[in-house]
Amino acid sequence: MLAVLLPSVTSLAVRVRVPAVLSVTLKLCVPPTNAVSAGKVAFASDDVMPVALGLVCSWFDLSREAAPSPDPVLSPAWMSACGAAYAGGADTTDPRISPVYADLTGLPPMLIVSATHDLLYPESVQFEERARAAGVQVEHQVEPGLWHDYPLQAGTITQADRSAAAMGRFLAEGWV
């Protein structure tokens, strides 16, 4: 069993190569039926598809102008600068940059964790809707009044503990 947990990646070249490297690694080491993917950048490729995706406060649409929100972690100006740096001059509607524009057909079941005060919350709703329309099984856990990446505070706030437990249960089901 293997859970692929990837950090945020800032270069398009790296983002394109990381899945290729993981694809080879997974083919050699792990049967696809035992792989799940979770984290800030979840992994899937044409060659190896995990059996479950865990998506935590994810950025699905880098082309969208962020509206002001009560999020104490993210600001629209910072997101705009980060989005431009992340895209590196590429079209931000490229599905490799903004997965909300991808063909989501055939993706494995996913759990999306988000919060209503997260600047990225509207994108999580849009991505959920697109995934469901593509026939993907989606669970979406939304915490009202919380901020971007609140699950990182597991052990400190009850809602983060609840999200961590839900993600653990969901990903464990992918291995059964």
Predicted local distance difference test score (pLDDT) of residue 18: 41
> Is residue 73 assigned to a domain?
yes
Task: Give pLDDT, residue 50.
Answer: 84
The Cα 84–Cα 151 span in angstroms is 26
Identify the burial level of 5 via C-beta atoms within 10 angstroms of its C-beta, where 0-12 means exposed, 13-18 middle and 19 or more buried: middle
* Integer CA distances (angstroms), 174 to 32, 50, 163, in order: 11, 9, 17
* Percent of the residues in the chain that have a pLDDT greater than 90, as a whole number: 63
Taking only the tens place, the pLDDT of each residue in 46-67 is 566 788 999 999 999 999 988 8
Q: Does the residue 24 lie in any domain?
A: no
- For residue 168, the enclosing domain spans 50-175
Q: List, for residues 21-44, the tens digit of each pLDDT value.
A: 344 434 444 444 555 555 444 444
Tell me the pLDDT band of 173, cut-offs 50, 70 and 90.
confident
Amino acid at 12: L
CA distance 53 to 12: 21
Measured in degrees and rounded to the nearest 5, phi and psi for residue 66 equal -75, 135
Q: Evaluate whether 48 touches 62 at the Cβ level (below 8 Å).
A: no
Residue 122 maps to which CATH number?
3.40.50.1820
Q: Specify if 1 maps to a domain.
A: no
158 or 43, higher pLDDT: 158
Does 17 fall in a domain?
no
Between 157 and 48, the higher pLDDT residue:
157
Number of folded domains that form the chain: 1
3-state SS class at 168: helix
Express as a percent the part of the chain with pLDDT over 70.
72
